[in-house]
Structure 1
Amino acid sequence: MEQLSFFSAEASGPRIDDLAGVLCGHGRLAVFGRTAARLSVPIGDRWRARVLVGEFALRGVRAEVVAAEDGRLLVRTAFRADLLPMSAAWERAGGSGGPEASEKAVPPGFHLDGAVLRLWALASGWRAEKGYVLPLDEEAPETHEPLAAALRGSGIGGKALGPRAGGPAIRVSGRRRLATLGELVGKAPPEAELAWPEEIPARRAEAS
């Protein structure tokens, strides 16, 4: 587990690149004249919005909470030059260069470390009866398999869920995998306990 902890959310200081975690779910980037980019993510719970604003602030990025057109909350940043590298990495060739959202694509060789997974879980993850669910963006189906591959590369894996099962999403199950996920994302922030991967004692995980 020593090597695993090296990739956990607490292993390194907060970085702006960690915010890519919200792009794994329903987050979106928009660019303006190739001089600045805005990151936004629709949120279903007020506690998620509050926690995400704090996580953004830890990385030197101010975010606000506004009402989205569909009635959900929207956590979004201002247009910022320091978000351009992330926008370039996550934009599919041929995407729009205007202020509207570009077509989203997972960067080649994308790696899911603990901090990125933590932001994904905070934005939309939830504890299911048989594991933990990480939602995918139904409007960006090309991102689903690369993200599933990234999860496998992190030693977590999971099962793809279709719309009838509450997807698109990936469900992580099994004590070993859930213990690995819990180790990577770190402790639940206040208000997030019921939506966080269940803590599994090491002995139970090793015995499974």
Structure 2
Amino acid sequence: MSLSGLGDTGKAQPPPALFPAPESDTPTSGRRRGGAPQNRSSQDGPGQQSDDAGRQLVFFGADAAEPTVADLAGLLAGPGEVVRMGGTARLSVQVDAAWRVHVLVAELASRGLAASWEPTEGARHAVRTSYTRVLKPLAAAWLHGTTKRPPAAFHLTGRRLRLWLAAAGTPEPPDCFLLRLGADDKECWEPIGVALASAGLAGTLLGPGWGGPAYRIAGRRRLARLAELVGGAPDAAPADAWPTRP
């Protein structure tokens, strides 16, 4: 099933009822290229701690730069997978909610990548790109044979965190947020934790027996930092599924 979001089709099949449009009372945000939601927050993210009235864009925040293919490393920090075929590569991720499909397809479209989706077992959905040479550098950086591992210089920007959160972020009220990891990506878990800490989001690694694998980001200060980095909620996201600025 195709849900490309690229505007390349008056012939494209519309999203089925499983993927409804955002509710009418969802806060409306601006739009960036490709139809993906964009947050009007050019004045509300501090690069350094400061009063709300004097906020600037967060350095490395989601609103600080145009979307690029390199941002998709955020999906690989979580449960995303990349595979190679010849001189091309394909990115895929399984998600647990319909709204995530909407958001990810729009995010991929904003980077010039068509995506398709299909339902999988356990009321989950697989989102994947086509095989493309555009993703070859990402695959080369992350794959060691068939094993996924972050490159040595890996770091987390706001756009990378936004994609990770859209694919696999789960709130734990009142003051925690889980960022889920790939169950078979044990070699990634520790370096991803280092990257989180470097972004000011030091978290606790939860193993599979404790509701993981995932990093738990706990405390109001860290959640505020996460909210600043990832920007406002996409239109399709439920209000309680996204971190909010205090």
* 1:195 shift after superposition: 1.4
Indicate yes or no: 2:156 matched with 1:143. no
Opposite residue 115 of structure 1, the aligned amino acid is: R
Indicate yes or no: 2:179 matched with 1:134. yes
Aligned to 2:36: none
Aligned to 1:118: 162
After TM superposition, the runs of 4+ consecutive aligned structure 1 residues lying more than 4 A away are none
Q: Please give the secondary structure, in 2, of the residue aligned with 1:167.
A: coil
In structure 1, how many angstroms separate the alpha carbons of the residues matched to 2:99 and 2:123? 16
* 1:2 shift after superposition: 2.6
Indicate yes or no: 2:76 matched with 1:27. no
Indicate yes or no: 2:217 matched with 1:164. no
Aligned to 2:20: none
* 1:68 shift after superposition: 3.7
In structure 1, how many angstroms separate the alpha carbons of the residues matched to 2:122 and 2:151? 29
* 1:200 shift after superposition: 3.9
Count, aligned residues: 191
Q: Deviations over 1:39-98 (max 9, x none)?
A: 010111111011100000011111111234666311001100010000000002xx1xxx
Indicate yes or no: 2:62 matched with 1:9. yes
* 1:25 shift after superposition: 1.3
Indicate yes or no: 2:108 matched with 1:64. no
In structure 2, how many angstroms separate the alpha carbons of the residues matched to 1:69 and 1:103? 24
Indicate yes or no: 2:87 matched with 1:43. no
Opposite residue 194 of structure 1, the aligned amino acid is: D
Aligned to 2:236: 191
- Structure 2 gaps of 5+ residues are 1-45, 49-56
Report if aligned partners of 1:175, 1:200 keep a CA contact under 8 Å in 2: no
Q: Which TM-score applies when normalising by structure 1?
A: 0.87
Aligned to 1:206: none
1:16 to 1:44, Cα distance in 2 relative to 1, 3 A: same
Higher helix share: 1
Identity, in percent, stands at 46
Q: Which TM-score applies when normalising by structure 2?
A: 0.74
Q: Deviations over 1:151-176 (max 9, x none)?
A: 00111111111223210100101121
In structure 2, how many angstroms separate the alpha carbons of the residues matched to 1:6 and 1:112? 11
Aligned to 2:18: none
In structure 2, how many angstroms separate the alpha carbons of the residues matched to 1:195 and 1:71? 18
1:109 to 1:122, Cα distance in 2 relative to 1, 3 A: same
- Structure 1 gaps of 5+ residues are 96-101, 202-208
Q: Please give the secondary structure, in 2, of the residue aligned with 1:160.
A: strand
RMSD: 1.5
Aligned to 1:91: 143
Among residues 140, 151, 159, which one is paired with 1:107 in the alignment? 151
Q: Which has the larger radius of gyration?
A: 2
Opposite residue 60 of structure 1, the aligned amino acid is: G
